[in-house]
Structure 1
Amino acid sequence: MRMAEPVDRRAREARRVVVSSLLGTSMEWYEYILYGLFAALVFNKLFFPALDPAVGGIASLLTFAVGFVARPIGAVLFGHLGDRVGRKTTLITTIVLIGTATGAIGLLPTYSSIGIAAPILLAVLRFVQGLSLGGEWSGAVLMAVEHAPVEKRAWYGSMPQLGSPIGTIASSAVASAVTLLPDDELLGWGWRIPFLLAFPFLVVAVYLRLRVEESPLFQQVREEEREVRIPLVKLARTSWGRLLAAAAAAMFASGAFFLLTTYAVGFGTKTLGLSADTMLLATLLGALLEGACIIVSGRMADRRTPWRIMAVGGAVCVVAAFPLTAMIATGDAVLVVLGVAIGIGLLGIPYGPMGTLLSQLFTDDTRYSAVAVSYNIAGLIGGFVPSLALAMSTALDGSAWVIGILFAVLCAITTAGSVAAGLLLRRETALTVADA
């Protein structure tokens, strides 16, 4: 019994970490996706009413992209803290920042009240959101993976990814509820409610994160005095190829995802003339499918290796891109909903093992910085995809095929990056065997 106690305690702690990581990332994605939905639906009217509607729509989506510009900066900052100070402290900091910034958006005066200061403050708060997200997801994944049993690392590592569909469902459900209001009430006060909910969510998230233990691998690094003074410098010297492979593998996670959950929502309402409720239904169904695919691919990755599942998932998305776009292009409400929902769902295949694959590529003394930077380099590029799609579609008279082209390109990059990561890991294994 005495020998079993430490094992049981570690198992309980691992489960506690997984729950904490999942709930934290769910809150994070709720808040981040919520901004994208309202940027597509109403922010042009609230913060850019003086602009032409098309220009105002692009400007609104550009404030959405500001968060992705901040993400690499946050990745460098919080990645450094995660490798030097610890995963737990860093994660508490990031969740406080994103929760506070999101709640503050709900308190923000609009253009009609304070003029140009309103969109400036909106962009600043969006920047803070992006800054904190730059270190949030990577830390949550590392806590789950580094606490996990070796044989279940991909499964445990897939749990924080479930925060994406949970956050999507929660944000879409809340957005659907408030968009039922008459337009004057929605624009007057209804849009604020989803953002103000961030404050009670923040209290729960901080409580959960205070209760978990620090990563055992980070504790080992500290005990052995292996901390790297500037992790990013070491990565640039020794692991730049791995950083590029990881960034390529993660390209779909922001670019393709927000192409469907942000741009396609606006495309459906403004170009196809469908209701906001219809497009939000598509994101809700897509989130359910995505969650199922994350669970299945996370399980499979422990048997077939994460890079293989990611490569296959990326290839499936490439093949599906144009049939799904053909469904959206019909303008039929049922086919549009199915096209968007299936596209979002298929992204769950590469998304499930992504955190584990990125973790495998790097050593424990620089892992937080490496995962954060590579993931958020991809996020920086992906953040401009909705704006790029809107600009391309405007130039092409509202063509839906922009969605298929960008979706296929982004997922092809993911497939190539996953294969490259797999080759690096196989080479590492071969060298280890040869040395032995």
Structure 2
Amino acid sequence: MKGKYSNLLLYKMYQAHRLIRRYQISNLVEWNSTETDQALEPGCTVLLGMCSKLPTLIYANLACLQKAKWDQLKAVYIIVDCQKCDLEIGTEEKVIRSFPDLNISFFYYSEQQSQQAERLKLPYLYAWMSWCIGLKHTNTQSILIHDYDALILSNTVLQQRYQKFQAQQAKVQGIEWYHKNGFRRQDRLVCTFECFLDVAWLRSFSPIELFNNVGKYEERSVDYDITLEAQARSLAPEERTIAELSQSKSDIVHPSQMIHQYTMFRKFPGAALPCYSMILLPLFSFLAGDNTAFKSATLAVYKGKETEGKGSMVWEGVTIGLSQLESHHLHWGLLQSVQALVALEVKPRKDVFDYYQALYDRVGCALTGIQHDFASDKHQQWLTEAKLSSFAALAKCEALSINALSK
């Protein structure tokens, strides 16, 4: 059998499991004819699913989004993955007050939605439900699904993409073709992250029709991600487009799978799971205003070194296993961090170097620079200065210790 599943029995088993899951959640989000038939206004609404267990990430995200705001951006809808009573008091008001130019509205899960999501702890369920709640309330012709773990570093890229999306009269415009779970890039189906979509087209489907599914595509067994089945069954190839970012990906820092991985570690603390995006959590906390984030993370890495293998780190109360962390993950994570810090004009910091030094020590390799093709001279210089400041601080501490001993 071609595609994701190697044999018919396995395919049927996963297909049945997904059908049961779809049945269990089919009534969690619905929209009625009044909502789907309403006249839509020109412009775009950003839909941003917020992880209530990592609330500080919202500030870094919105600070970058505010700089990239364009005239046709009419509103930002933040959909929180819990009931309003479960979000820290004052968070909504503080966020709205901090970013007055973004026309922010908050939406929350109902009791039923919150209980089901927390019981299942499925990352793609959270994503689907949050986006559908936002879509239910949208009154503009277009939406941008903006990931919670994405930092827009270019002030013009969203405007340029939106204008291209409108000019092409496409229904979907992303930044990458989907090429996992049995799909290939040449299928020309669009990944949902950082994706512009046509609202009327999306709401022509019921919410559950946009959810993940197991099926066939061109004789291959596949696992449809959110909106992929709708794209495959209803859109012509020219209605599915991508707008590639700069070659170095310097327009955006997007760890990808950060919330997914965090949710899985909440479900399985310290387990041997993918963790490559988890190492960027301190960056987001720092950009949200926590100047001690990198120092705290460094201590957490060293504190967790006594566990098996490459150890673990505890962050925001969750034990993150580092057993699957490899050197190429660190090269990529270091680049992402320095790209963001340089773009946001943050001066070189020793605590950033110290943190990555601790991680490189955990995987047993040397930190000799940013080992990535997309690293520019400016990025390398930033890290060099951060390294020198770290060594200078160490030398100062050693000198103070020697002086103290000589007295």
TM superposition score normalised by structure 1: 0.25
Structure with greater strand percent? 2
TM superposition score normalised by structure 2: 0.26
Structure with greater helix percent? 1
Instruction: Select the structure with the greater relative contact order (CA < 8 A; seq sep ≥ 6).
Output: 1
